[in-house]
Structure 1
């Protein structure tokens, strides 16, 4: 049986269809992928089957098939499974088809060059995870590198404040997720909530040394037609490189950029966010 937490995390095997009969193996395969996406490390077939209430033999066969298709990776040490590189290929193609990367990458390159700071794009892949889908490096001598496909908790750092500001999560769910995030110097939850409200009003957030000591992140969300966050752009660098004035100016540039991208992705059917003074002068 599924726990309440698993139900909240969309691990449920039941799916609503408008027409036709669902294919059980496909429903189970997607439940397995979602479960693996929520894990911090590799897990065994038995653990997956137990968590999802699947027949152990069925679960094992589905995992072997997914591994053969490279969407799941099998680790010989520990006989465990994690998400595989094949998913990144599919995700990249999907992003290209809907135009996200064609819009995002030139903006990331511009921001990285303008601020001499690495810029990253994070896709919200569930109610509790984001995934790095694009990045642009700067010519600065000091770089912070992350691999495409790297996943982080939804509420981490500056992008976590931005996601929480628009995701519509209940306070207790935010409290639960926030407590589970491993951070070097986390502020109290009440302070986090106050910073979430500031991010909602300002359109951006800044995290200094909270997630990782010595590292500052500046983020702004890209909202969908319902006003929910599905992407976020983030600058990441050493705290010593971010004066208050520089961080504020960079944050405003990020916010203007994400709002512009949001309007382009939404198309003419959605009312655009109001232009900021910076945008009206461009």
Structure 2
């Protein structure tokens, strides 16, 4: 039996609902929970007349798929948000994977990518070192925002209210004796991360392991994800540490540029 293929709307005019198709096209304008668009902006993106577009937006809002904000713009409602976030995360993973592979190959150490899903950071890609003793990661693993390099690299670049919410929801549990569990100290470290452009987990989440992370920026300049390279402490010399930090920063910069250039909405109006 052949593999199922989604129908082509242009070939099924007797069955295809143009009204539903337009509504879905409108929802596709919203890539994540931070995207706010006005009626005029959506009209320019999709080329729909404003009069018919208003009816679509009104209907989507009435059924709880869009929410209208105080300034009159629209954003995704909560019941659609996580599906969109997962689509977004795995789209970015495909873009970043070749860069992650280069990092993994260059040092023969484990390299990972994490993505911010609302209030939690989850591993969406990982490549392990070909070493008998190595740091490992697991797809789907939820990372602590205060003592993992990926978690730190993402959360440090969020707005203050978002940072406080993430820390409150995830907590500041002690994973090792080197974990920072004081709220103010965590905030100070985030400030240093924003200044330096990278994060370090030095035996804070796992004894005997060190991890260097750097943020990934999307086409709007927002930090939505991060990459890292992990190494057992006994394989880390000062020279190798310096090289790894430089490499993870450079790799994140190149991957961020690829994300921005690959985005179909890179030139669309955003707020």
TM-score band, normalised by shorter chain: 0.5 to 0.7
User: Could you say which residue in structure 2 is the equivalent of 1:167?
Assistant: 158
CA–CA distance in 2 between the matches of 1:23 and 1:175?
A: 33
Pairing partner for 1:145 from 136, 141, 144: 136
User: Could you say which residue in structure 2 is the equivalent of 1:215?
Assistant: 209
Q: TM-score, normalised by structure 1?
A: 0.58
> How many residues matched?
196
User: Could you say which residue in structure 1 is the equivalent of 2:58?
Assistant: 19
User: Could you say which residue in structure 1 is the equivalent of 2:123?
Assistant: 132
User: Could you say which residue in structure 2 is the equivalent of 1:102?
Assistant: 94
CA–CA distance in 2 between the matches of 1:152 and 1:143?
A: 18
CA–CA distance in 2 between the matches of 1:94 and 1:163?
A: 16
5 Å-filtered alignment, 1:1-282, equals 18-20=57-59, 21-23=61-63, 91=86, 95=89, 98=91, 100-126=92-118, 128-170=119-161, 172-173=164-165, 176-177=168-169, 179-185=171-177, 186-187=179-180, 188-267=182-261
Kindly state the Cα deviation for residue 230 of structure 1 after the two structures are TM-superposed.
0.9
Calculate the aligned-residue CA RMSD, in Å.
3.4
Q: TM-score, normalised by structure 2?
A: 0.60
Unaligned runs of 5+ in 2: 1-32, 34-55, 68-76
- Aligned to 1:19, what secondary structure does the other structure show? helix
Q: Is the 8 A contact 1:206 1:218 kept in 2?
A: yes
- Aligned to 2:122, what secondary structure does the other structure show? strand
CA–CA distance in 1 between the matches of 2:126 and 2:213?
A: 13
- Aligned to 2:58, what secondary structure does the other structure show? coil
Kindly state the Cα deviation for residue 32 of structure 1 after the two structures are TM-superposed.
11
Kindly state the Cα deviation for residue 221 of structure 1 after the two structures are TM-superposed.
0.6
Kindly state the Cα deviation for residue 213 of structure 1 after the two structures are TM-superposed.
1.9
Unaligned runs of 5+ in 1: 1-9, 11-16, 35-86, 271-282
CA–CA distance in 2 between the matches of 1:151 and 1:164?
A: 14
Give the 3 Å change call, closer, same or farther, for CA 175–158 of structure 1 in structure 2. same
Kindly state the Cα deviation for residue 229 of structure 1 after the two structures are TM-superposed.
1.4
Give the 3 Å change call, closer, same or farther, for CA 164–95 of structure 1 in structure 2. closer
Kindly state the Cα deviation for residue 26 of structure 1 after the two structures are TM-superposed.
11
Kindly state the Cα deviation for residue 237 of structure 1 after the two structures are TM-superposed.
2.8
Kindly state the Cα deviation for residue 184 of structure 1 after the two structures are TM-superposed.
1.6
CA–CA distance in 1 between the matches of 2:153 and 2:89?
A: 21
Between 173-182 and 152-161, report the one with greater CA deviation. Answer: 173-182
Kindly state the Cα deviation for residue 168 of structure 1 after the two structures are TM-superposed.
1.0
Q: Deviations 1:216-260 (Å, cap 9, x if unpaired)?
A: 111001012343211110112322222333223211111111111
Between 170-179 and 254-263, report the one with greater CA deviation. Answer: 170-179
